[in-house]
Amino acid sequence: MPPMHGSSQRRSFISRLAAGTAALGAALATGTSPLQAMTAREDFTPARHPQDDWFDQIPGKHRIYFDAVSPKGAAEGITFASNYALANKNGYALEATDLAIVLGYRHFATPFAFSDAVWAKYGSAWGKAIGYTDPVTGAPPVRNVWNAKDLPGNQPNRGVTVDMAVSRGWQFAVCDLATHVFASIAAAPGGPSADDIYAELKRSTLGNAHFVAAGIVAVNRAQERGYTFSYVG
């Protein structure tokens, strides 16, 4: 720490130290975490926006957000959510309706929120762009791999498909910015425009999908709405 010159600087430092010590003491006395106590001094309340109200409309005693940014992450997010639900069932006798689970698909995980129909049309271009191949064919996929049931063993989704996740009531936050990017990747000379493909993709998400302005924004908004955060990769 650089030396402080002048009595005013020393007083300012001592006052900040005293405030921090008081916050820590209060935290220990009340059971509040020191971080919560320190941030509470700022008297910060995040703004609420109607675009994010769907986070509060998911029933559940516990809230968690899984953040996926890659093809593998899109699958492992399903696995982690499965483990989370199973552990809550076995350890706490909680049912699926007791848990608010959101899977955030952004960056290269985004297209795995879309149906087989659009993958059949645009999956080859997407696979080449993100360097991903179908584990069965070894070629760029022309189906939503994480909604398939014929995959070889030891896949990162452990046999749980996107449709199964939907049936369990889990919700998906789909990055709108990335959707525009993947629409542009799919656009080819003489074919539909990127805008037309974007509109098609918006109509072709799997169930329980919510388009968010950007995946990284949803990461922020979910935590402001009381969701714990788990980065998947």
- pLDDT for 8 equals 54
- pLDDT for 43 equals 81
- pLDDT for 2 equals 44
Phi, psi of 57 (to 5 degrees): -90, -5
Residue/partner pairs of 80-85 with CB below 8 Å, 24 or more apart: 80/230, 80/232, 81/165, 81/170, 82/158, 82/160, 85/168
Domains of the chain, by residue range, sit at 7-40, 51-231
- pLDDT for 13 equals 43
What's the CA gap between 221 and 164, in Å, rounded?
26
What's the CA gap between 40 and 23, in Å, rounded?
9
What's the CA gap between 163 and 146, in Å, rounded?
9
Q: Per-residue pLDDT for the chain (233 aa), expressed as one digit of tens each?
A: 444 455 555 455 445 545 555 544 554 455 555 555 544 556 889 999 999 999 999 999 999 999 999 999 999 999 999 999 999 999 999 998 999 999 999 999 999 999 999 999 999 999 999 999 999 999 999 999 999 999 998 899 999 999 999 999 999 999 999 999 999 999 999 999 999 999 999 999 999 999 999 999 999 999 999 999 999 99
H-only helix segments in 93-193? 116-130, 162-167, 176-186
The DSSP output letter for 86 is H
What's the CA gap between 166 and 54, in Å, rounded?
16
If we measure between CA atoms, which residue out of 7, 8, 41 comes closest to residue 23?
A: 41
Give the CATH superfamily of 51-231. DsrEFH-like (3.40.1260.10)
